[in-house]
Amino acid sequence: MTRNEEDKSLKSNKKSRARRKKKTAAELLRAERRPGPSGSDELDPGDKTLSDAARVLRLIASGALRNDDEDRKDADHIPRDLHGKPLRRLTSEDEAALAHNIQHHGDLDARNTLILANIGLVHLIANQLRRPYIRYEDLVQEGILGLMRATETFEPSRNIRFSTYSVYWIRAKIQRFLQKLDRDDIPKITGAELIEDESGRRKRPRAHKVSIDAKVDSEDGRSVQDFLASSNDGPEDHFLRYEQDKRIHKVLREIARETGDPRLFTIIKWRLLTEEPETLTELGERLNLSREGARLLENKILKLAKVRLKDFKKQTA
Task: Give the residue among 151, 152, 143 at the shortest CA–CA distance from 90.
Answer: 151
pLDDT tens digit at each of 317 positions of the chain: 565 665 556 556 555 554 444 444 444 444 444 444 334 333 333 343 444 444 444 444 444 333 334 334 443 445 554 455 555 678 888 889 998 888 888 888 888 888 888 888 888 898 888 887 788 888 988 999 999 889 988 888 888 888 888 888 899 899 888 888 766 544 443 444 444 443 444 444 443 444 444 443 334 444 434 434 444 445 555 555 556 666 777 777 788 788 778 888 888 877 777 667 788 888 889 889 998 988 888 888 888 877 777 765 555 55
What phi and psi, each to the nearest 5 degrees, are found at residue 202?
-65, 135
Residue 74's pLDDT is 42
- Does the pTM surpass 0.75? The reply is no
Domain 20-185 has CATH 1.20.120: yes
Residue 245's pLDDT is 65
Torsion sign (Cα): 193, 197, 199, 205: negative
Q: Report yes or no: 147 and 75 within 8 Å, Cβ to Cβ.
A: no
What phi and psi, each to the nearest 5 degrees, are found at residue 304?
-65, -40
Residue 35 DSSP code: E
Spans of all domains in the chain: 20-185, 233-317
**In this structure, which amino acid lies at residue 222?**
R
Sequence-distant contacts of 217-224: CB under 8 A, at least 24 apart: 217/191
Residue 116's pLDDT is 86
Pure H helices in the chain: 3-21, 25-31, 52-64, 69-72, 92-105, 108-128, 136-153, 162-185, 235-259, 262-267, 280-287, 291-316
